[in-house]
Amino acid sequence: MASPDRMTPDPEIPTVATYERTVRASAERVWENVLDWEHLPWLHADAFQTIQCEGAGRWGWRARVSLARPPHPEIAIELLVDREASRYVTRTTEGAGAGTEIWTEVTPQGDAETGIRVAFLVPGIAPEHRDGVGQGYVSLYTTLWDEDEDMMRERQRALDDGALARPPSGRDPVALGPVEALRLPHEVIAHGRRYRVVRAGEGLHAHPTACPHLGGPLAQTDLRDGAVTCPWHGYTFDLETGRERGGRPCRMIDRPAVVVEAGEARLEFDT
């Protein structure tokens, strides 16, 4: 039996389809995305329901994944990276589709574009059904890469804008105007950063619109029980404390206070 760490395609497994595209993101963002197992059930909720990581590192990751389609079958996946060859393989090691190998070549095409070529190797498929199976994989991966591309581009914007850098000290208050005129949620740019003002309970709170984890779009999320949840990775931040409610080691530290005096609202920053 072949080694699970084998980094060449199995010649005995037929290729049912290939898929090529140019991703509008740098190779750095692509490789970062490849190693990011956490986003699967959040960004790709139509394909994956849950994921439980069993090991991860620069070499790749292994995890047990339940699929979104009923009855939500569980499969085991390993993703192994060969950076020297600029490629990686995603293998299904248990469950439906066990033995499937998906090989992806990554080719930088400048500072903000990357070429992707994906080969789908699926065992046990009768020759007359290979085209249909291949079309299914191509359709799925088109959607997955569309979603990944949007995330990578948004993350790059957050990095370029400095939204993930440590907030500077000594920032002056920023006026929001009459509190009665605020239409909540209210977005404001203050000291070069974008914040959203919301009402939670009896008070007003402000939070950055970029998730402190990897820059996810918190402005697109609903406020629930005094917290916001990132749509990319499911990190949920309590607006009162800044803590991540799931216990993950990430904290929202850039939370200006919303102060109301004489009917006027303003943002006040920690000194």
| Tokens at 175, concatenated | 């006026």
pLDDT at 200: 86
- What burial class does residue 201 get, using C-beta atoms within 10 Å of its C-beta: 0-12 exposed, 13-18 middle, 19+ buried? exposed
Quote the tokens at residue 51.
């994921």
Q: What is the pLDDT of residues 134-183, one digit of tens each?
A: 999 999 999 999 999 999 999 999 999 999 999 888 999 999 999 999 99
Whole-angstrom distance, CA of residue 259 vs CA of residue 77: 49
Domain ranges of the chain: 15-160, 174-268
pLDDT tens, position by position, 27-84? 999 999 999 999 999 999 999 999 999 999 999 999 999 999 999 999 999 999 999 9
Nearest CA-CA partner of 178 in 262, 267, 269: 262
Residue with tokens 């190779």: 27
- CATH no., domain 174-268: 2.102.10.10
Query: What is the spatial distance between Cα 212 and Cα 93, in angstroms, rounded to a whole number?
Result: 34
pLDDT digits (tens, 9 = 90+) for 94-137: 999 999 999 999 999 999 999 999 999 999 999 999 999 999 99
- 174-268 has the same fold as 15-160: no
- CATH 1.20.120.1200 for domain 15-160, yes or no, is no
Whether the pLDDT of residue 198 is over 50: the answer is yes
